[in-house]
Amino acid sequence: MTLLERFLHYVSFATTSDENTGLTPSTPQQMEFAKVIADELRQVGLQNVELDKNGYLYAVLPSNINKNAPKIGFIAHLDTSPDMSGKNVQPRIVQNYDGGDILLNKEENIVLSPRQFPELQLYVNQDIIVTNGLTLLGADDKAGIAEIITAMEFFIKNPDVKHGEIHIAFTPDEEIGQGAHHFDVEKFGCDFAYTMDGGEIGELEYENFNAASAKIIFKGINVHPGYAKHKMLNSMRIANQFIGMLPRHETPEHTDDYEGFYHLTMINGNVEKTTLSYIIRDHDRARFESRKAEIQHLVNKINAEFGENTATLELKDQYYNMKEKIEPVMHVIDIAFEAIRQAGVEPKVKPIRGGTDGAQLSFKGLPCPNIFAGGHNFHGKFEFLPIPSMEKATEVVKNIVKIAAER
């Protein structure tokens, strides 16, 4: 299969992850997709293909040189975000994009417009893959999977091109912050690796958010509303009060660059019980710890006003900023920087306003920065993927392998 054929095939698999199952992988569809990819890896000619019980897929391309080149890894994830349906994805290729509005869905009048997404103007006269307006696309991260496999197939079909030992891995549940939880770094056996999980063409990232999740449960007392005076305790109103106590401009829609935030992701409630789910993000570790402390402080204030145990907090760290683990091995960034330049693309070194498997893997001893896979507007119906960006990402993988072998 070609790179494009691979990607279009992969997005036909619904692989949405689910943080509520307590399983790994969190959904069975991810394992089914991993089995299909495992078969393809064997057909392509990769060795030591192994799919473990948790849905982690590993494979190796043996070295074809005698000298002691570093062992390099490339990683992408199998799942798609639960923020939008990934079922029955129907991608469409907009050929030779003219710079105007793209009608995604006529019945729902859903339009991908450069007025809302000005980055579209970067891809005039290019072929762009879009959604039908009802699902996400899945470029995050099936583009990364397609790019890695296509690059590995190139080396297998061109044995005269020298390369060291290359390891690849595809992980489940990255979108729910669990992609590296059961990753076997020792078995992977690499000196360093790269996740192909970035966005816009040229992106090279080795700084990411420190991340935590917070679930606050508010307990109320339900009484007939006609006789509720001084008796009812409406958990929804208390939850609403809590929401208003957080800084209203420290949210995703008001922040960029290195600015952190509190993000309310879910409300579920009635008079008796209301649950709020937040994610907490900040690049700076001290500010990150301060944000978590503020959540606890506000929970305490609620309990002081409405009674002990009215609000309970479940707070969990998810991952940390990989910068402190990458800076001592900056040659890993230098190689990627040069590889992007050799592909005719200007590198864009920027902080990730999110996280990747590479963040957790870097803290497990595997330095693992992130490289663009080419997509935009991940996790929603306006997701799109310029085909030339995907082709350049594949070229970058090849270049990294070649540069490492030469050095």
Nearest to 15 by CA among 28, 4, 5, 1: 28
Strands (E), 78-206: 92-94, 102-105, 110-112, 128-130, 166-171, 192-198, 203-205
Report the catalytic residues.
Answer: 79, 174
Contact predicate 129/210, CB 8 Å: no
Beta 92-94 vs 128-130: how paired, if at all? Answer: antiparallel
Run of H or E residues at 348: strand 348-349
In terms of Cα–Cα distance, which of 222, 202, 197 is closest to 272? 222
Best CA proximity match to 142, nearest among 167, 182, 175, 119: 175
Question: Quick one: which H or E segment has residue 282?
Answer: strand 273-282
**CA angle, 124 then 126 then 132, to 5°:** 95
